[in-house]
A and B are shown apart, each in its own frame.
Chain A
Amino acid sequence: MYVSPDLNKTESLTIAVTGLNANDNPGPGLAVIRALRAGFGENIRIIGLAYETLEPAIYLRDQVDKTYRIPYPTAGAGALKARIKEIQEIEKIDVLIPNFDAELYNFIKIAPDLLQMGIHSFLPSHQQLEQRDKVNLAKFGEKHGFNVPDEGVVFTASEIDNIASKFGFPLMVKGKFYEAHTTLNSADAHRAFHKLHAKWGLPVILQKFIKGTEINIAGLGDGKGNAISVIPMRKLYITEKGKAWAGITIEDEKLITLAKDFAKATIWKGGFELEIMREDNGSLYIMEVNPRFPAWVYLTVAAGQNQPKALVDLALGRPTDDMNTYKAGKMFIRYAWDNIVDVEEFQKLSAFGEL
């Protein structure tokens, strides 16, 4: 489907990828790997970086050439750096693509050290990461003129009714880190507040409920204010966890303009995903911004714009291919597949941290 430029044909690239958890709430790793294999063909070696021993893609040996375990983000940037250094002494990684929100802070922190080891990356800054964070999204929208759902941050239950009378019901009540409840009345909202307070602490976020169609946009920012690729996808089938299990590329200038405006306002560097709600009257709301490629990023390849490959090119300072057109109507339908593995492989990874 994709013809790589000649310069890529001769030399071989080693690319490390995280997010191998291709489960029911999938990490984007496997999709990124598939896109890279489609883009670079034979001349590529994929190093998987895994946190857990049961991340499914580890065991897909035709996709992942070798996997190493790396320390959890909670162990800190120092531990991560030390482990990558160990790995780099064995592998010669050219580019590293992190795919988890939770690990990005550390990878951004050690990016200069990685470069010294010869590992390129293409990541947003801590500041860019911070401003799109859930608790800052309202401020972010206000500053750059994007529609985001109205929000109130509350520290005590007594503040709920005041805000609820402004936003009306249904009302979203969201935890500081995770979890959101759609509440239908004041009693409901109070209950959700106490639950989220107990679980995630304060503050609790009240968000205006937006009714409409869920659309996701996969994009790639060049760090100079341009989105060099934008592919919008409408969710067709949504899992219990709210993840797209099937989707279709759509064509809508407004969506593409929104993503380009986002990249321009933030000078975004790297992959991103905008979660959009389109109201019946056509207004577009940014519900969330994910600072990495989405798990459905292989659809961008199918539609004609290989975003992961372009990210690798950007990371290495190579020219990227023009990505001006894409096919609307390309669908992805995810499926589950039971891969068979012997216990020895699992044990080996558990004990030695590599497979």
Chain B
Amino acid sequence: MKQKYERPTIRKMNTGLMNKFGTRTDFDPVETIDGVQVKSLVAEYGSPVFVLSEKQIRRNYQAAVRSFKTRYPKVQFAWSYKTNYLNAVCRVFHQEGSWAEVVSGFEYHKALGNGVAGNQIIFNGPDKKEADLTLAVENHSLIHIDHYDELYLLIDICKRINKTAKVAIRVNFDTGVYPIWDRFGFNYENGQAWAAINKIITAENLELVGLHCHIGTFMLSTAAYSVAATKLCDLAMRCKMELQNPVQYLDLGGGFPSTNTLKGAYLPGVDTVPSVEDFAEAITNTILNFGFAADELPLLILESGRVLIDDAGYLVGSVLANKRLSDGRRATILDFGINILFTSNWYDHKISVAKEAGQYTEETVLFGPLCMNIDVVRESITLPLLERGDQVVVHKVGAYNMTQWMQFINMRPAVVLIDMQGKSHQIRKPETLAYLEMMEEIPEYLK
């Protein structure tokens, strides 16, 4: 019986920062996802492949809802389509009771296609086409106005089709977190938001039903949400007292972070990122203590995306090659890169090997497969010795990757959902050349 082989390697003592006593937990292999063998996923769906855990999605959703509902009587979540708009994913959220939050015409149509009632679709964003707005008015969707041009366009549309639109305005303000996202919506501090509200109240065919804000993304401060909630409450109270138009809901938007570790952060995200509970505490305390009568408390809407799905997503890939760089550093080339793992631009993703490996580790750079210098997955990571064909598992990739991915040099891979029973389903096929060329047309003279 021959001995188990591992490639020969030496390491200088006291050089690199990490030692093997440092990150042992990261070296634990991830051989299965929700009970399904990583190896069998690759055999069935190819490599790389995105894998989503339905169990984790539902668990996240239910935990988030519980965090808010145990503190506040009226809560509604609206799934942020741009975070991951694969229909199977959206339908899981809608089954759980989530509304839809969309920021473009095609997302709006996707939500309708997924069976969401018109009055449970929130239409956000600075780019709403006239036809989409018209449809949204007819469907009684909640239109969150971003700027004056949209406000006037909406007034025109309503007049023309003789319908009333249910609207809110998006408000931006200083919450003590910089930069301020003042490019979206109407500013609170300079009075613009109040002026827009007055304009809506006087417009015949607009019904002001809510107030909306979205203060940023990957927010690490719960205090900022207290400030935001206070300012929205203030506007809501003035709507009631000064304009006799109480609003039905406050939409605090999204922005809660997942537990990924941001590049440059000293401590890992799992230890430092506030939990949904913490955010819920900050937001609901503020609203409950603002002075609304108990029966006049507005509905609280949340548009969380990232925090509900990031840790339910995995990317499984394979090692293409090992090489040594000019300065002696080890480099590993993988079959996925920034083309499909867009978030590696701002996270140090946790990456595990997919099979039991030796105790010996080495520091390596992880490159993607593109022939582009910027295609780096991790600048430095300590991993067991990898060989060509070995699989790795990237953690917490469920948010934004499956919407911001690029079809560049390589096609986009399959996406698989593992259901509650541990059965895998392909929810998006790997792209093909035929798919890619489907939209192309060749002028007659080039044929």
CA–CA, A123 to B25, complex, Å? 26
Q: Which residues of B contact A155 (CB under 8 A)?
A: 178-179
Residue of A nearest to B348 (CB): A74
Q: Which of A71, A77, A202, A353 is in CB contact (< 8 Å) with B23? A: A71
* Interface set, chain A 340-355, CB cutoff 8 A to B: 346-347, 350-351, 353
Q: Which residues of B contact A78 (CB under 8 A)?
A: 25, 270-271
Q: Which residues of A contact B178 (CB under 8 A)?
A: 155, 202-203
**If A105-B272, A155-B178 touch, does A72 touch B25 (CB 8 Å cutoff)?**
no
Q: Is B268 an interface residue (CB 8 A)?
A: yes
Residue of B nearest to A68 (CB): B21
Q: Do A79 and B267 touch (CB < 8 A)?
A: no
Q: Which residues of B contact A329 (CB under 8 A)?
A: none
Q: Is A54 an interface residue (CB 8 A)?
A: yes
Q: Which residues of A contact B25 (CB under 8 A)?
A: 75-76, 78-79, 82
CA–CA, A9 to B272, complex, Å? 42
Interface of B is mostly: loop
Q: How far is the CB of A131 from chain B (nearest CB, A)?
A: 12
Mark the stretch among B11-19, B50-58, B147-155, B430-438 that contacts chain A. B11-19
Q: Is A120 an interface residue (CB 8 A)?
A: no
Q: Is A318 an interface residue (CB 8 A)?
A: no
Residue of B nearest to A109 (CB): B271
Most chain A CB within 10 A, of B19, B20, B24, B26, is at B19
Q: How far is the CB of B216 from chain A (nearest CB, A)?
A: 15
Residue of A nearest to B266 (CB): A74
CA–CA, A75 to B23, complex, Å? 6
Q: Is B22 an interface residue (CB 8 A)?
A: yes
Q: Do B267 and A76 touch (CB < 8 A)?
A: yes
Residue of A nearest to B265 (CB): A74
Q: Is A214 an interface residue (CB 8 A)?
A: no
* Interface set, chain B 247-283, CB cutoff 8 A to A: 264, 266-268, 270-272
Residue of B nearest to A76 (CB): B268
Q: Which residues of B contact A105 (CB under 8 A)?
A: 267, 271-272
Residue of A nearest to B178 (CB): A155
CA–CA, A155 to B20, complex, Å? 39
Q: Is A183 an interface residue (CB 8 A)?
A: no
Q: How far is the CB of B302 from chain A (nearest CB, A)?
A: 25
Q: Which residues of B contact A69 (CB under 8 A)?
A: 19, 21
Q: Which of A79, A82, A346 is in CB contact (< 8 Å) with B13? A: A346
Q: Which residues of A contact B23 (CB under 8 A)?
A: 71, 75, 79
Q: Is A106 an interface residue (CB 8 A)?
A: yes
CA–CA, A346 to B13, complex, Å? 9
Q: Which residues of A contact B24 (CB under 8 A)?
A: 71, 79, 82-83
Q: How far is the CB of B218 from chain A (nearest CB, A)?
A: 15
Q: Is A16 an interface residue (CB 8 A)?
A: no
Q: Do A76 and B21 touch (CB < 8 A)?
A: no
**If A105-B272, A202-B178 touch, does A353 touch B21 (CB 8 Å cutoff)?**
yes
CA–CA, A75 to B26, complex, Å? 9
CA–CA, A201 to B14, complex, Å? 29
Q: Is A70 an interface residue (CB 8 A)?
A: yes
Q: Which of A70, A72, A346, A350 is in CB contact (< 8 Å) with B17? A: A72
Q: Do B267 and A353 touch (CB < 8 A)?
A: no
Q: Which of B22, B271, B272 is in CB contact (< 8 Å) with A71? A: B22
Q: How far is the CB of B16 from chain A (nearest CB, A)?
A: 11
Q: How far is the CB of B20 from chain A (nearest CB, A)?
A: 8
Q: Is A157 an interface residue (CB 8 A)?
A: no
* Interface set, chain B 15-51, CB cutoff 8 A to A: 17-26
Q: Do B13 and A350 touch (CB < 8 A)?
A: yes
Q: Which residues of B contact A351 (CB under 8 A)?
A: 13
**If A52-B14, A105-B272 touch, does A71 touch B21 (CB 8 Å cutoff)?**
yes
Q: How far is the CB of B9 from chain A (nearest CB, A)?
A: 14
Interface residues of B, count at CB 8 A: 21
Q: How far is the CB of B232 from chain A (nearest CB, A)?
A: 24
Q: Do B21 and A70 touch (CB < 8 A)?
A: yes
Q: Which residues of A contact B268 (CB under 8 A)?
A: 74-76
CA–CA, A201 to B178, complex, Å? 12
Most chain B CB within 10 A, of A76, A155, A203, is at A76
Q: Is A207 an interface residue (CB 8 A)?
A: no
Q: How far is the CB of A160 from chain B (nearest CB, A)?
A: 16
Q: Which residues of A contact B272 (CB under 8 A)?
A: 105
Residue of B nearest to A78 (CB): B25
Q: Which of A83, A106, A346, A347 is in CB contact (< 8 Å) with B267? A: A106
Q: Is A53 an interface residue (CB 8 A)?
A: yes
Residue of A nearest to B350 (CB): A76
CA–CA, A336 to B26, complex, Å? 39
Q: How far is the CB of B220 from chain A (nearest CB, A)?
A: 12
Q: How far is the CB of A104 from chain B (nearest CB, A)?
A: 11
CA–CA, A76 to B273, complex, Å? 12
Q: Do B21 and A73 touch (CB < 8 A)?
A: no
Q: How far is the CB of B14 from chain A (nearest CB, A)?
A: 5
Q: Is A102 an interface residue (CB 8 A)?
A: yes
CA–CA, A167 to B23, complex, Å? 46
Q: Do A102 and B19 touch (CB < 8 A)?
A: no
**If A82-B25, A155-B178 touch, does A73 touch B267 (CB 8 Å cutoff)?**
yes
Against B, the Cβ 8 Å flags (1 = close, 0 = not) of A73-97 are 1111111001100000000000000
CA–CA, A347 to B267, complex, Å? 28
Q: Do A79 and B14 touch (CB < 8 A)?
A: no
CA–CA, A228 to B354, complex, Å? 54
CA–CA, A39 to B365, complex, Å? 49
CA–CA, A29 to B270, complex, Å? 28
CA–CA, A18 to B40, complex, Å? 46
Against B, the Cβ 8 Å flags (1 = close, 0 = not) of A314-345 are 00000000000000000000000000000000
Q: Which residues of A contact B17 (CB under 8 A)?
A: 72
**If A71-B23, A75-B23, A82-B25 touch, does A53 touch B13 (CB 8 Å cutoff)?**
yes
CA–CA, A18 to B270, complex, Å? 23
Q: Which residues of B contact A82 (CB under 8 A)?
A: 24-25
Q: Which of B26, B179, B266 is in CB contact (< 8 Å) with A73? A: B266
Q: How far is the CB of B446 from chain A (nearest CB, A)?
A: 50
Q: Do B266 and A102 touch (CB < 8 A)?
A: yes
Q: How far is the CB of B434 from chain A (nearest CB, A)?
A: 46
Q: Which of B14, B22, B179 is in CB contact (< 8 Å) with A350? A: B14
CA–CA, A75 to B178, complex, Å? 28
Q: Which residues of A contact B266 (CB under 8 A)?
A: 73-74, 102
Q: Which of A53, A77, A83, A353 is in CB contact (< 8 Å) with B271? A: A77
**If A105-B271, A109-B271 touch, does A75 touch B13 (CB 8 Å cutoff)?**
no
Given A69-B19, A350-B19: 13 more A-B contacts, CB < 8 Å: A54-B14, A71-B22, A73-B267, A75-B268, A76-B267, A76-B271, A79-B25, A83-B21, A106-B267, A155-B179, A346-B13, A350-B13, A350-B14
The 3 closest A-B pairs by CB, nearest first: A76-B268, A71-B22, A350-B13
* 12 chain-A/chain-B pairs, Cβ below 8 angstroms: A52-B14, A71-B22, A71-B24, A73-B266, A73-B267, A77-B271, A79-B24, A82-B24, A82-B25, A105-B272, A201-B264, A353-B20
Chain B contact residues, CB within 8 Å of chain A: 13-14, 17-26, 178-179, 264, 266-268, 270-272
Chain A contact residues, CB within 8 Å of chain B: 52-54, 69-79, 82-83, 102, 105-106, 109, 155, 201-203, 346-347, 350-351, 353
